[in-house]
Structure 1
Amino acid sequence: MSSKIKEIKTKKTHWLDIINASHDDLKYLRQTFTFDPLDVADCSPMLQRQKINDRKQYVFIVLQFPIYGRATGAVEPSEIDTFVSKKQLVTVHDGRLKPLVDFFNLCQTDTLTRANLEQDEPMVIFFKILNKLYDYCYPILNHINLDIDRVEKDILKRAEEETIKNILSIKRNIVNFQKTMQSHYGILQNFVEIMGELNASRELKTEFYNLISHTKDIWNTLVNYKDTINALHETQSSMTSLKINEIMKTLTIFSVIVFPLTLLAAIFGMNTIQSMPFVEQEHGFWYVLAVMAFAVVCMFGYFKKRKWL
């Protein structure tokens, strides 16, 4: 057996945990257990479609959970592939789901946790794993909520480019989070219906219904966050459009004011000296400037009257 494969044996459960399963690890699963080869193939490192397969003797479940990358600030999916039967539990993952890794290590090293595990069947352990993974989702939701609050406060203070980048980053995280959670409700519903074949107790079914409520709660929170960040994005876009309109307004007014000055300059620049007013007068230059200044004052007065300034 590969060193990547760790196991815990109790009176009621044989739990195998595999991190970053290699080809030899998958071959070991095929040879040791009666798992469908297609299910074993789905345990490859690449992300698979989330699903549940009822194989009568066992249930195969593919689920994805979000993880938060502190270095990148991005929410990414991490997959857990699970085989659940009456006596066996096999979990295959990439090692990035900290609650699962910590729980397995705790079961190996902590005496009290190991003693509690002795009486647990595979489905009970599977429930505990899912419960810890769903609890792990809430701090990520809180982090997204803090990011939204920060953007809401900074939307009037910080540079537009930085604010827009933050908004787009939050929207990306929400979408990635939703992509990981969108199939959980249906998969768990199907699993509860299948649990009777594995002799699950009524109390355990009730616990799984509570997990389903968790998935609905998480999904509804994500929808709320998505609506909020979309509203903030629209607000930011409106503010940017308003700023651009103000700039265009200023440039347009400046162009209109300069236009009569340019026209006067062009007229007095024509080679018709004998018929040109003010040209041969001693103070003709100042007369022309006075006419230009008068035109500017008239334009300003007109704009002021129309409340364009």
Structure 2
Amino acid sequence: MANLNIQKIKTKNLTWIDVSACQPKEMKYIEQKFKLHPLHINDCLSPVQRPKLDVASNYLFMVLLFPVYNRRTRKIISSEIDFFINSNTLITIHRGELSPLINFFNLCQTTPEQKEKYFIGSPALLIYELLNRLLAACNPILGNINLNINSIEENIFKGYEKRMVKEILIAKTNVVNFRRITQTHRLVVSKLLEKSSLFFSPGQLRIYFKEVIETAEDIWQNLETLKQTVEAIEQTNNSLISFQLNDIIKILTIISIIVLPISLIGTFFGMNLKFMPLANQPNAFWILFSVTGLMILFLINYFKRKKWF
């Protein structure tokens, strides 16, 4: 394993193999060493898979996705972890994007007390702690989305509706991606609890993974709330923008109607006809000016009574 991105923690009861670069050479070694099914190896090498749990003759194969926040793009992307599990071995395969997994492995590797705490009996306790840490890492991302949504709401009511359209799109996309990533966590962990009696004591798993399922449920409920909130904010923002556009159209319409009498009178008296009303009247300009002014005042008063402005 010297030239491979593979690390190992081994005790008399349990071995944890961590593959931090899912490349063909690493996967070939893992396949041959632990007699893994080629289809599962292909699943690991393929682009992001859907979360699932498969039962093989000598192990369980589990795929889970977890959210990663990209600070540069401000978007949430998914990161995959593949698990191979049997009675005394845990293999984790990932692409080095999930710090909770990396930090926990390093902690167990460098701290004898932690190794002694989690490397007892079957991998059940180790898997529980790993999943618990990965799910706990979702909370800061949820908090960041919530802060972003609150900021959007404040800016909308400060009059920055148009600027917030892009921000709403980012927040909505992040909530949708987060939901897509985590929607099957409860189902997969429940299936792990159901199928793992082949390798573990069911009592052990029921104690450990009940909390994991509850945590996944809490995350899903928070995402439901965020989804409803961002949709309500989007609807409010669209209504405000629509109201502003309608207001602008109304003002332009009023101006057009007010200007219309001036245009009509100007067009009429601009005709080059032999006999024109007021043609020989010395005060013709002021008469026309007064008539036009009265018409404008009448229209303004009419619009005010109709509460158009």
Instruction: Give TM-score scaled by structure 1 length.
Output: 0.96
Query: 1:238 and 1:267, CA in 2 relative to 1: closer, same or farther beyond 3 A?
Result: same
In 2: Cα distance, 1:248 partner to 1:210 partner: 57
Report if the CA contact (8 A) 1:56-1:197 is conserved: no
Q: Counterparts in 2 of 1:1-309, with a 5 A limit?
A: 1=1, 2-44=3-45, 46-274=47-275, 276-309=276-309
In 2: Cα distance, 1:113 partner to 1:45 partner: 33
Aligned partner of residue 162 in structure 2, secondary structure:
helix
In 1: Cα distance, 2:90 partner to 2:159 partner: 51
How far did 1:158 drift? Answer: 4.7
Q: Which amino acid aligns with 2:267?
A: A
Identity of aligned residues (%): 37
Q: Which amino acid aligns with 2:191?
A: N
Aligned partner of residue 160 in structure 1, secondary structure:
coil
Aligned partner of residue 75 in structure 1, secondary structure:
strand
In 2: Cα distance, 1:166 partner to 1:100 partner: 31
In 2: Cα distance, 1:4 partner to 1:15 partner: 14
Aligned partner of residue 159 in structure 1, secondary structure:
coil
Q: Which amino acid aligns with 2:194?
A: E
In 2: Cα distance, 1:174 partner to 1:192 partner: 28
Instruction: Give TM-score scaled by structure 2 length.
Output: 0.96
Task: List runs of 5+ in structure 1 lacking aligned partners.
Answer: none
In 1: Cα distance, 2:175 partner to 2:24 partner: 34
How far did 1:259 drift? Answer: 0.8
Report if the CA contact (8 A) 1:15-1:89 is conserved: yes
Q: Which amino acid aligns with 2:112?
A: T
Aligned partner of residue 272 in structure 1, secondary structure:
coil
Q: Deviations over 1:81-101 (max 9, x none)?
A: 000001111000011110000
Report if the CA contact (8 A) 1:21-1:45 is conserved: no
In 1: Cα distance, 2:36 partner to 2:239 partner: 57
- RMSD, matched Cα: 1.4
Q: Deviations over 1:157-184 (max 9, x none)?
A: 1533321111111101001100111111
Report if the CA contact (8 A) 1:16-1:90 is conserved: yes
Q: Deviations over 1:214-252 (max 9, x none)?
A: 111111110111001100000000000100010000000
Paired residue total:
308
Q: Which amino acid aligns with 2:239?
A: S
Aligned partner of residue 76 in structure 1, secondary structure:
strand
Query: 1:180 and 1:14, CA in 2 relative to 1: closer, same or farther beyond 3 A?
Result: same
